[in-house]
Amino acid sequence: MPLMNNLLHALSNVFIDRPSDTRRQVISAKKIQQGDATISTKKRLLGWDIDTVNMTITLPEHRLFALQQTLADMIQKTRTSRKKWQKLLGTLRSTTPALYGAAHSFSILQHALTDTTNQRICLTPLIREILRHWLLLARHAYDTPAALSTVVSTHPTILAATDASKSGMGGFWVTAPSTEHPNGEYFLWRHAFDNTIQQALLTADNPAGTLLINDLELMAIITGAVLAGHHTTQLHPSILLASDNVAAVSWVGKGSTTSISAPALLLHHLGQLRRAKPFALHPVYTPGLSNTLADCCSRSFDMPDADLLHHVRCLHLEQPSWTLVTPPKDLISKLSCSLLGKLHKLVSTPPAALPTTQPGRCGRTSALASSLTPNWWALTTLFPCYNSLANDIDKASLLPVGLKSALVPWREPFVPLARRSPHWAASTPASQLMAN
Protein backbone atom coordinates (compact mmCIF):
# COMPACT_ATOMS: atom_id res chain seq x y z
CA MET A 1 0.00 0.00 0.00
CA PRO A 2 2.75 2.60 0.74
CA LEU A 3 4.20 1.94 -2.71
CA MET A 4 0.80 2.38 -4.32
CA ASN A 5 0.19 5.60 -2.40
CA ASN A 6 3.52 7.02 -3.51
CA LEU A 7 2.77 6.17 -7.13
CA LEU A 8 -0.65 7.78 -6.97
CA HIS A 9 0.78 10.94 -5.37
CA ALA A 10 3.43 11.12 -8.11
CA LEU A 11 0.76 10.84 -10.79
CA SER A 12 -1.31 13.49 -9.04
CA ASN A 13 1.61 15.92 -9.04
CA VAL A 14 1.99 15.50 -12.80
CA PHE A 15 -1.64 15.80 -13.85
CA ILE A 16 -3.05 18.07 -11.13
CA ASP A 17 -4.80 21.21 -12.41
CA ARG A 18 -3.56 24.10 -10.31
CA PRO A 19 -5.58 27.34 -10.11
CA SER A 20 -2.71 29.31 -11.69
CA ASP A 21 -2.35 26.99 -14.69
CA THR A 22 -3.49 28.37 -18.05
CA ARG A 23 -3.46 25.01 -19.84
CA ARG A 24 -6.63 23.12 -20.58
CA GLN A 25 -7.95 20.55 -18.16
CA VAL A 26 -5.88 17.37 -18.35
CA ILE A 27 -8.18 15.04 -16.41
CA SER A 28 -11.95 15.19 -16.60
CA ALA A 29 -13.32 15.58 -13.08
CA LYS A 30 -16.71 14.39 -14.29
CA LYS A 31 -15.30 11.05 -15.47
CA ILE A 32 -13.37 10.60 -12.25
CA GLN A 33 -16.56 11.08 -10.23
CA GLN A 34 -18.21 8.44 -12.41
CA GLY A 35 -15.52 5.94 -11.42
CA ASP A 36 -13.36 5.91 -14.55
CA ALA A 37 -10.19 6.31 -12.48
CA THR A 38 -10.75 3.22 -10.34
CA ILE A 39 -8.25 0.38 -10.62
CA SER A 40 -9.96 -2.70 -12.08
CA THR A 41 -9.23 -5.59 -14.43
CA LYS A 42 -12.50 -4.89 -16.26
CA LYS A 43 -13.00 -1.54 -17.91
CA ARG A 44 -15.31 0.05 -20.45
CA LEU A 45 -13.08 1.88 -22.91
CA LEU A 46 -14.46 3.73 -25.94
CA GLY A 47 -17.63 1.64 -25.89
CA TRP A 48 -15.90 -1.73 -25.39
CA ASP A 49 -15.73 -3.94 -22.30
CA ILE A 50 -12.10 -4.99 -21.81
CA ASP A 51 -11.16 -7.86 -19.49
CA THR A 52 -7.41 -7.84 -18.80
CA VAL A 53 -7.49 -11.13 -16.87
CA ASN A 54 -9.18 -13.25 -19.51
CA MET A 55 -7.75 -10.96 -22.24
CA THR A 56 -11.09 -10.58 -24.02
CA ILE A 57 -13.14 -7.80 -25.60
CA THR A 58 -16.95 -7.78 -25.59
CA LEU A 59 -19.82 -5.45 -26.38
CA PRO A 60 -21.66 -3.71 -23.55
CA GLU A 61 -25.08 -5.16 -22.79
CA HIS A 62 -27.02 -2.20 -24.15
CA ARG A 63 -25.17 -2.29 -27.49
CA LEU A 64 -25.58 -6.04 -27.79
CA PHE A 65 -29.30 -5.85 -27.00
CA ALA A 66 -29.80 -3.06 -29.55
CA LEU A 67 -27.93 -5.09 -32.18
CA GLN A 68 -30.06 -8.18 -31.57
CA GLN A 69 -33.25 -6.13 -31.75
CA THR A 70 -32.20 -4.45 -34.99
CA LEU A 71 -31.28 -7.76 -36.65
CA ALA A 72 -34.49 -9.47 -35.48
CA ASP A 73 -36.60 -6.66 -36.93
CA MET A 74 -34.71 -6.63 -40.25
CA ILE A 75 -35.03 -10.40 -40.72
CA GLN A 76 -38.82 -10.09 -40.70
CA LYS A 77 -38.79 -7.66 -43.64
CA THR A 78 -38.58 -8.33 -47.36
CA ARG A 79 -37.64 -4.78 -48.38
CA THR A 80 -36.02 -1.79 -46.69
CA SER A 81 -34.74 1.64 -47.64
CA ARG A 82 -31.18 2.17 -48.77
CA LYS A 83 -30.54 4.60 -45.90
CA LYS A 84 -31.61 2.06 -43.26
CA TRP A 85 -29.56 -0.67 -44.92
CA GLN A 86 -26.44 1.49 -44.97
CA LYS A 87 -27.03 2.33 -41.30
CA LEU A 88 -27.29 -1.39 -40.49
CA LEU A 89 -24.04 -2.15 -42.32
CA GLY A 90 -22.32 0.62 -40.38
CA THR A 91 -23.61 -0.81 -37.11
CA LEU A 92 -22.40 -4.29 -38.04
CA ARG A 93 -18.98 -2.95 -39.04
CA SER A 94 -18.61 -1.27 -35.65
CA THR A 95 -19.31 -4.53 -33.78
CA THR A 96 -16.96 -6.88 -35.66
CA PRO A 97 -14.04 -6.68 -33.16
CA ALA A 98 -16.25 -8.25 -30.46
CA LEU A 99 -17.97 -10.78 -32.77
CA TYR A 100 -15.02 -12.88 -33.81
CA GLY A 101 -15.30 -14.24 -37.35
CA ALA A 102 -18.03 -11.79 -38.35
CA ALA A 103 -15.66 -9.60 -40.37
CA HIS A 104 -15.84 -12.13 -43.25
CA SER A 105 -19.65 -12.01 -43.53
CA PHE A 106 -20.14 -8.69 -45.37
CA SER A 107 -19.81 -9.76 -49.01
CA ILE A 108 -23.43 -10.73 -49.61
CA LEU A 109 -24.75 -7.84 -47.51
CA GLN A 110 -22.66 -5.31 -49.46
CA HIS A 111 -23.75 -6.77 -52.78
CA ALA A 112 -27.28 -5.50 -52.09
CA LEU A 113 -25.97 -1.94 -52.61
CA THR A 114 -24.63 -2.58 -56.13
CA ASP A 115 -27.90 -1.44 -57.71
CA THR A 116 -27.41 2.34 -57.55
CA THR A 117 -30.71 3.20 -59.30
CA ASN A 118 -33.10 1.66 -56.78
CA GLN A 119 -33.61 3.31 -53.39
CA ARG A 120 -35.24 0.18 -51.95
CA ILE A 121 -33.18 -2.87 -50.94
CA CYS A 122 -34.72 -6.25 -51.65
CA LEU A 123 -33.94 -8.67 -48.80
CA THR A 124 -33.56 -11.99 -50.58
CA PRO A 125 -33.66 -15.34 -48.72
CA LEU A 126 -29.85 -15.48 -48.94
CA ILE A 127 -29.49 -12.05 -47.32
CA ARG A 128 -31.92 -12.96 -44.53
CA GLU A 129 -29.98 -16.16 -43.90
CA ILE A 130 -26.77 -14.14 -43.48
CA LEU A 131 -28.61 -11.85 -41.05
CA ARG A 132 -29.66 -14.94 -39.07
CA HIS A 133 -26.00 -15.87 -38.83
CA TRP A 134 -25.26 -12.40 -37.45
CA LEU A 135 -28.09 -12.76 -34.94
CA LEU A 136 -26.69 -16.09 -33.77
CA LEU A 137 -23.25 -14.51 -33.32
CA ALA A 138 -24.77 -11.69 -31.27
CA ARG A 139 -26.73 -14.07 -29.05
CA HIS A 140 -23.61 -16.11 -28.28
CA ALA A 141 -21.25 -13.13 -27.98
CA TYR A 142 -20.70 -13.68 -24.24
CA ASP A 143 -20.32 -17.45 -24.66
CA THR A 144 -17.52 -17.01 -27.20
CA PRO A 145 -15.79 -13.69 -26.35
CA ALA A 146 -13.20 -12.36 -28.76
CA ALA A 147 -9.58 -12.55 -27.61
CA LEU A 148 -7.61 -9.33 -27.60
CA SER A 149 -4.80 -11.11 -29.44
CA THR A 150 -7.10 -11.50 -32.46
CA VAL A 151 -7.88 -7.77 -32.50
CA VAL A 152 -4.39 -6.34 -32.00
CA SER A 153 -1.78 -7.41 -34.54
CA THR A 154 1.06 -9.44 -33.01
CA HIS A 155 4.30 -10.79 -34.42
CA PRO A 156 3.79 -13.81 -36.72
CA THR A 157 4.43 -17.23 -35.21
CA ILE A 158 3.67 -19.24 -38.38
CA LEU A 159 4.98 -18.55 -41.88
CA ALA A 160 3.08 -20.09 -44.79
CA ALA A 161 2.63 -19.92 -48.55
CA THR A 162 -0.01 -21.39 -50.88
CA ASP A 163 -0.66 -21.81 -54.59
CA ALA A 164 -3.39 -23.26 -56.80
CA SER A 165 -3.67 -24.58 -60.36
CA LYS A 166 -6.30 -26.36 -62.39
CA SER A 167 -5.10 -29.74 -61.16
CA GLY A 168 -5.02 -28.88 -57.45
CA MET A 169 -3.70 -26.72 -54.64
CA GLY A 170 -0.90 -26.96 -52.09
CA GLY A 171 1.56 -25.12 -49.91
CA PHE A 172 3.67 -25.25 -46.79
CA TRP A 173 4.02 -23.65 -43.36
CA VAL A 174 6.80 -23.25 -40.82
CA THR A 175 6.14 -22.92 -37.09
CA ALA A 176 8.12 -20.94 -34.55
CA PRO A 177 10.66 -22.83 -32.44
CA SER A 178 9.40 -24.34 -29.19
CA THR A 179 10.73 -26.45 -26.35
CA GLU A 180 9.82 -29.68 -28.17
CA HIS A 181 11.06 -28.41 -31.56
CA PRO A 182 14.00 -25.98 -31.13
CA ASN A 183 14.30 -25.49 -34.91
CA GLY A 184 10.58 -25.26 -35.56
CA GLU A 185 8.41 -27.62 -37.59
CA TYR A 186 8.11 -27.83 -41.38
CA PHE A 187 4.90 -29.01 -43.04
CA LEU A 188 3.78 -29.59 -46.63
CA TRP A 189 0.23 -30.13 -47.86
CA ARG A 190 -1.53 -30.65 -51.18
CA HIS A 191 -4.92 -31.63 -52.54
CA ALA A 192 -6.00 -32.58 -56.08
CA PHE A 193 -9.25 -31.05 -57.36
CA ASP A 194 -11.96 -33.43 -58.51
CA ASN A 195 -13.35 -33.38 -62.04
CA THR A 196 -16.35 -31.24 -61.03
CA ILE A 197 -14.14 -28.32 -60.03
CA GLN A 198 -11.72 -28.75 -62.93
CA GLN A 199 -14.55 -28.78 -65.46
CA ALA A 200 -16.09 -25.66 -63.89
CA LEU A 201 -12.86 -23.63 -64.29
CA LEU A 202 -13.01 -20.89 -66.91
CA THR A 203 -10.20 -21.39 -69.44
CA ALA A 204 -9.57 -20.77 -73.13
CA ASP A 205 -10.65 -24.35 -73.80
CA ASN A 206 -13.68 -24.05 -71.50
CA PRO A 207 -15.31 -20.62 -72.04
CA ALA A 208 -18.51 -21.78 -70.33
CA GLY A 209 -16.78 -22.26 -66.98
CA THR A 210 -18.15 -20.57 -63.86
CA LEU A 211 -15.03 -20.57 -61.68
CA LEU A 212 -11.93 -18.40 -61.97
CA ILE A 213 -8.38 -19.23 -60.95
CA ASN A 214 -8.78 -16.47 -58.33
CA ASP A 215 -11.48 -18.58 -56.64
CA LEU A 216 -9.16 -21.59 -56.47
CA GLU A 217 -6.35 -19.43 -55.07
CA LEU A 218 -8.70 -18.17 -52.35
CA MET A 219 -9.65 -21.73 -51.47
CA ALA A 220 -5.95 -22.58 -51.22
CA ILE A 221 -5.31 -19.66 -48.85
CA ILE A 222 -8.18 -20.70 -46.59
CA THR A 223 -7.11 -24.35 -46.59
CA GLY A 224 -3.48 -23.51 -45.82
CA ALA A 225 -4.42 -21.09 -43.03
CA VAL A 226 -6.83 -23.53 -41.37
CA LEU A 227 -4.33 -26.40 -41.55
CA ALA A 228 -1.57 -24.26 -40.05
CA GLY A 229 -3.85 -22.82 -37.36
CA HIS A 230 -5.26 -26.19 -36.32
CA HIS A 231 -1.96 -28.13 -36.39
CA THR A 232 -0.33 -26.16 -33.59
CA THR A 233 -0.55 -26.10 -29.83
CA GLN A 234 -0.28 -22.29 -29.74
CA LEU A 235 -3.26 -20.34 -28.49
CA HIS A 236 -4.44 -17.90 -31.15
CA PRO A 237 -1.44 -18.19 -33.48
CA SER A 238 -0.61 -15.37 -35.87
CA ILE A 239 -0.18 -16.63 -39.45
CA LEU A 240 1.67 -14.68 -42.13
CA LEU A 241 0.66 -16.30 -45.42
CA ALA A 242 1.97 -15.51 -48.90
CA SER A 243 0.16 -16.02 -52.19
CA ASP A 244 0.91 -14.99 -55.77
CA ASN A 245 -2.73 -14.03 -56.51
CA VAL A 246 -3.51 -10.35 -55.96
CA ALA A 247 -7.30 -10.76 -55.93
CA ALA A 248 -7.33 -13.56 -53.35
CA VAL A 249 -4.92 -11.67 -51.06
CA SER A 250 -7.10 -8.56 -51.31
CA TRP A 251 -10.30 -10.49 -50.52
CA VAL A 252 -8.84 -12.06 -47.40
CA GLY A 253 -7.24 -8.79 -46.30
CA LYS A 254 -10.50 -6.84 -46.60
CA GLY A 255 -12.62 -9.76 -45.42
CA SER A 256 -15.22 -9.20 -48.12
CA THR A 257 -15.94 -8.87 -51.80
CA THR A 258 -18.83 -7.17 -53.58
CA SER A 259 -20.27 -10.33 -55.09
CA ILE A 260 -22.48 -13.27 -54.20
CA SER A 261 -20.38 -15.82 -56.07
CA ALA A 262 -17.83 -18.34 -54.81
CA PRO A 263 -15.44 -15.84 -53.10
CA ALA A 264 -18.25 -14.47 -50.90
CA LEU A 265 -19.28 -17.93 -49.69
CA LEU A 266 -15.67 -19.00 -49.16
CA LEU A 267 -14.95 -15.92 -47.03
CA HIS A 268 -18.13 -16.49 -45.05
CA HIS A 269 -17.06 -20.06 -44.32
CA LEU A 270 -13.59 -18.81 -43.34
CA GLY A 271 -15.22 -16.83 -40.54
CA GLN A 272 -16.88 -20.00 -39.26
CA LEU A 273 -13.62 -21.93 -39.40
CA ARG A 274 -11.79 -19.23 -37.45
CA ARG A 275 -14.40 -19.40 -34.70
CA ALA A 276 -13.70 -23.12 -34.22
CA LYS A 277 -10.09 -22.30 -33.31
CA PRO A 278 -9.21 -18.59 -33.43
CA PHE A 279 -6.12 -17.51 -35.32
CA ALA A 280 -4.94 -14.25 -36.83
CA LEU A 281 -4.38 -14.32 -40.60
CA HIS A 282 -2.24 -11.75 -42.42
CA PRO A 283 -2.09 -12.40 -46.20
CA VAL A 284 0.73 -10.89 -48.27
CA TYR A 285 1.44 -10.92 -51.99
CA THR A 286 4.54 -12.57 -53.39
CA PRO A 287 5.69 -12.83 -57.03
CA GLY A 288 4.84 -16.15 -58.62
CA LEU A 289 8.43 -16.89 -59.64
CA SER A 290 9.53 -16.82 -55.97
CA ASN A 291 6.72 -19.07 -54.72
CA THR A 292 8.48 -22.19 -55.97
CA LEU A 293 7.78 -24.59 -53.10
CA ALA A 294 4.03 -23.94 -52.94
CA ASP A 295 3.89 -24.05 -56.74
CA CYS A 296 5.55 -27.47 -56.67
CA CYS A 297 3.00 -28.80 -54.17
CA SER A 298 0.06 -27.59 -56.27
CA ARG A 299 1.26 -29.29 -59.47
CA SER A 300 3.12 -32.44 -58.43
CA PHE A 301 0.19 -34.85 -58.30
CA ASP A 302 1.96 -37.26 -60.61
CA MET A 303 4.47 -37.99 -57.81
CA PRO A 304 3.66 -40.21 -54.81
CA ASP A 305 3.98 -38.73 -51.33
CA ALA A 306 7.39 -40.32 -50.72
CA ASP A 307 8.78 -38.96 -53.98
CA LEU A 308 7.44 -35.46 -53.21
CA LEU A 309 9.11 -35.44 -49.78
CA HIS A 310 12.39 -36.64 -51.29
CA HIS A 311 12.20 -33.96 -53.98
CA VAL A 312 11.61 -31.19 -51.42
CA ARG A 313 14.44 -32.42 -49.20
CA CYS A 314 16.81 -32.31 -52.18
CA LEU A 315 15.77 -28.72 -52.95
CA HIS A 316 16.20 -27.51 -49.36
CA LEU A 317 19.00 -29.50 -47.79
CA GLU A 318 19.56 -26.95 -45.02
CA GLN A 319 16.05 -27.49 -43.58
CA PRO A 320 15.07 -30.29 -41.15
CA SER A 321 12.73 -33.08 -42.14
CA TRP A 322 9.39 -32.21 -43.69
CA THR A 323 5.97 -33.62 -42.74
CA LEU A 324 3.28 -34.07 -45.37
CA VAL A 325 -0.24 -33.27 -44.10
CA THR A 326 -3.41 -34.36 -45.88
CA PRO A 327 -6.31 -31.89 -45.57
CA PRO A 328 -9.32 -33.44 -43.76
CA LYS A 329 -12.12 -34.65 -46.02
CA ASP A 330 -14.71 -32.68 -44.05
CA LEU A 331 -12.81 -29.42 -44.60
CA ILE A 332 -12.34 -30.04 -48.32
CA SER A 333 -15.97 -31.07 -48.73
CA LYS A 334 -17.33 -27.89 -47.14
CA LEU A 335 -14.92 -25.63 -49.02
CA SER A 336 -15.78 -27.35 -52.29
CA CYS A 337 -19.49 -26.83 -51.62
CA SER A 338 -18.85 -23.14 -50.91
CA LEU A 339 -16.81 -22.93 -54.10
CA LEU A 340 -19.77 -24.32 -56.04
CA GLY A 341 -22.29 -21.94 -54.46
CA LYS A 342 -23.64 -23.54 -51.26
CA LEU A 343 -24.02 -21.64 -47.98
CA HIS A 344 -23.39 -23.72 -44.86
CA LYS A 345 -25.50 -23.36 -41.74
CA LEU A 346 -23.73 -21.55 -38.92
CA VAL A 347 -23.21 -23.70 -35.83
CA SER A 348 -22.43 -22.15 -32.46
CA THR A 349 -19.05 -23.40 -31.23
CA PRO A 350 -17.98 -23.77 -27.58
CA PRO A 351 -15.70 -21.08 -26.20
CA ALA A 352 -12.03 -21.65 -26.93
CA ALA A 353 -9.43 -21.61 -24.19
CA LEU A 354 -8.20 -18.09 -23.51
CA PRO A 355 -4.72 -17.23 -22.20
CA THR A 356 -5.32 -15.50 -18.88
CA THR A 357 -3.01 -12.92 -17.36
CA GLN A 358 -0.86 -14.49 -14.67
CA PRO A 359 -0.53 -12.41 -11.47
CA GLY A 360 3.01 -11.45 -10.53
CA ARG A 361 4.75 -11.84 -7.21
CA CYS A 362 4.50 -9.12 -4.59
CA GLY A 363 7.39 -6.69 -4.32
CA ARG A 364 8.60 -4.49 -1.50
CA THR A 365 6.07 -3.17 0.97
CA SER A 366 7.46 0.35 0.85
CA ALA A 367 9.07 2.55 -1.77
CA LEU A 368 12.79 3.21 -1.61
CA ALA A 369 14.28 6.64 -2.21
CA SER A 370 15.67 6.87 -5.73
CA SER A 371 17.28 9.47 -7.90
CA LEU A 372 15.44 11.26 -10.66
CA THR A 373 14.94 9.06 -13.71
CA PRO A 374 16.23 10.75 -16.90
CA ASN A 375 14.18 10.87 -20.06
CA TRP A 376 14.76 8.28 -22.78
CA TRP A 377 17.12 10.43 -24.86
CA ALA A 378 19.83 9.80 -22.25
CA LEU A 379 19.65 6.03 -22.67
CA THR A 380 22.56 4.50 -24.56
CA THR A 381 21.50 0.84 -24.39
CA LEU A 382 21.23 -0.74 -27.84
CA PHE A 383 18.00 -2.63 -28.17
CA PRO A 384 18.43 -5.99 -29.91
CA CYS A 385 16.53 -6.80 -33.06
CA TYR A 386 13.60 -9.16 -32.80
CA ASN A 387 13.07 -12.07 -35.19
CA SER A 388 9.65 -13.63 -35.62
CA LEU A 389 11.44 -16.96 -35.92
CA ALA A 390 14.58 -18.04 -34.09
CA ASN A 391 16.34 -19.19 -37.24
CA ASP A 392 17.71 -16.55 -39.59
CA ILE A 393 14.91 -15.80 -42.06
CA ASP A 394 17.32 -14.42 -44.66
CA LYS A 395 18.90 -17.85 -45.05
CA ALA A 396 15.59 -19.68 -45.40
CA SER A 397 15.58 -20.16 -49.17
CA LEU A 398 12.12 -21.72 -49.09
CA LEU A 399 10.42 -18.44 -48.10
CA PRO A 400 8.99 -16.41 -51.00
CA VAL A 401 10.18 -12.86 -51.56
CA GLY A 402 6.91 -11.34 -50.39
CA LEU A 403 7.03 -13.29 -47.15
CA LYS A 404 10.59 -12.16 -46.41
CA SER A 405 9.76 -8.51 -47.04
CA ALA A 406 6.70 -8.73 -44.80
CA LEU A 407 8.91 -9.93 -41.95
CA VAL A 408 11.20 -6.91 -42.12
CA PRO A 409 9.09 -4.67 -39.80
CA TRP A 410 9.28 -7.33 -37.09
CA ARG A 411 13.09 -7.22 -37.17
CA GLU A 412 13.41 -3.50 -36.48
CA PRO A 413 14.93 -2.57 -33.10
CA PHE A 414 12.57 -1.30 -30.45
CA VAL A 415 12.72 2.49 -30.08
CA PRO A 416 10.56 4.32 -27.50
CA LEU A 417 8.14 6.84 -28.93
CA ALA A 418 8.91 10.49 -28.23
CA ARG A 419 6.47 13.29 -27.69
CA ARG A 420 6.63 15.34 -30.84
CA SER A 421 6.06 19.06 -31.34
CA PRO A 422 3.60 20.66 -31.06
CA HIS A 423 2.72 19.20 -27.67
CA TRP A 424 -0.85 18.18 -26.97
CA ALA A 425 -0.88 20.48 -23.91
CA ALA A 426 1.36 22.84 -22.01
CA SER A 427 4.38 21.47 -20.24
CA THR A 428 3.64 19.62 -17.00
CA PRO A 429 5.37 20.29 -13.65
CA ALA A 430 7.20 17.00 -14.04
CA SER A 431 8.66 18.00 -17.43
CA GLN A 432 9.87 21.31 -16.00
CA LEU A 433 11.45 19.44 -13.12
CA MET A 434 13.21 17.15 -15.60
CA ALA A 435 14.51 20.14 -17.53
CA ASN A 436 15.98 21.69 -14.40
Does a structural domain hold residue 92?
Answer: yes
Q: Do 84 and 187 fall into the same domain? A: no
Structure confidence by residue, pLDDT tens digits, 209-239: 888 999 999 999 999 999 998 888 888 888 9
Residues 332-348: what's their mean pLDDT? 78
162 and 68 co-located in one domain: no
Task: Give the residue numbers spanning the domain of 226.
Answer: 154-339
More confident residue, 351 or 17: 17
Q: What would the pLDDT profile of 379-397 be if each residue is shown by its tens digit? A: 444 444 444 453 444 445 6
Question: In the structure, what pLDDT confidence band is assigned to residue 358 with cuts at 50, 70 and 90?
Answer: low
Does residue 167 sit in the same domain as residue 177? Answer: yes
| Three-class secondary structure of residue 402 per DSSP | helix
Please report whether residue 406 resides in a domain.
no
Residue 349 lies in a domain: no
Q: What are the backbone angles phi and psi of residue 361, rounded to the nearest 5°?
A: -80, 150
Considering the chain, what percentage of its residues have pLDDT values greater than 90? 26
Q: Does residue 313 share a domain with residue 164?
A: yes
Q: How far is CA 121 from CA 69, 75, 76, 78, 256, in A?
A: 19, 13, 14, 8, 19
Domain match, 244 and 275 both = yes
In a shared domain, residues 193 and 316: yes
Q: Per-residue confidence at 346, pLDDT binned at 50, 70, 90? A: low
Chain segment 31-47, per-residue pLDDT in tens: 777 777 777 888 888 88
What CATH number did the domain enclosing 170 receive? 3.30.420.10
Query: Would you state the pLDDT for residue 99?
Result: 86
Residue 2 lies in a domain: no
Task: Specify the pairing of strand 186-192 against strand 323-325.
Answer: parallel
Q: How many domains does the chain have?
A: 2
Q: Is residue 333 part of a domain?
A: yes
How does the average pLDDT of the chain come out, rounded? 79
Is the model more confident about 185 or about 426? Answer: 185
- Who wins on pLDDT, 327 or 407? 327
Question: For 58-89, how does the pLDDT look when each residue is reduced to its tens digit (9 = 90+)?
Answer: 899 899 999 999 999 999 999 999 999 999 99
Asked if residue 24 belongs to a domain, the reply is no
Among 152, 181, 211, the domain boundary falls at: 152
Kindly report, residue by residue over 260-288, the tens digit of the pLDDT. 888 999 998 898 888 878 888 999 999 98
- Report if residue 356 sits inside a domain: no
Measured CA to CA, the distance from residue 238 to residue 281 in angstroms comes to: 6
Is 334 part of any domain?
yes
pLDDT for 423 equals: 42
Sign for the pseudo-dihedral over CA of 229, 234, 236, 241: negative
